[in-house]
Structure 1
């Protein structure tokens, strides 16, 4: 099973993909999201999102600043003020 992941800024859709896991820099600490995660919403702290395409693989990192993350039935959506690969 794969997690539907979207990273969006006010300017554009940065990433939309099915991935194994994403680690997000939340204000209360970093958290990992995989398929089937419980619904959850938090604000982001400045940091890097780590995107794992496969179990045990090296993550792709995208720097983000500000915004929100929401885990729901449709997967993980990150709405960031800025994102830089």
Structure 2
């Protein structure tokens, strides 16, 4: 099974950088899930919980984030958040 490279970054530091199954992001137009191989995409994000699924049947790890952007490209998913409560 393919994995998704995921990074969560705030202005202060790199919060997470890991291989995961899926991430659900609170986009301003609604939540969206990202799996490996997702089409390139960019979205603003709203305050809410980022849900990180380490494997297909895993319970999500939730991180509260505030504002920012999410970008999906051939390298994976990068979330640039104004704040992240780890």
TM-score (norm 2): 0.98
Unpaired segments ≥5 residues, structure 1: none
Partner deviation per Cα, 1:26-82 (whole Å, 9 max, x = no partner): 000000000000000000000010000000110000000010000001100000000
Q: Distance in 1 between matches of 2:14 and 2:7?
A: 8
Separation in 2 of the partners of 1:27 and 1:66?
Answer: 9
Structure 1 residue aligned with 2:54: 53
Provide the C-alpha distance between the structure 2 equivalents of 1:44 and 1:13, rounded to a whole number of angstroms.
18
Alignment RMSD (CA, Å): 0.4
Please list every run of 5 or more consecutive structure 2 residues that lacks an aligned counterpart in the other structure: none
Q: CA deviation at 1:16?
A: 0.1
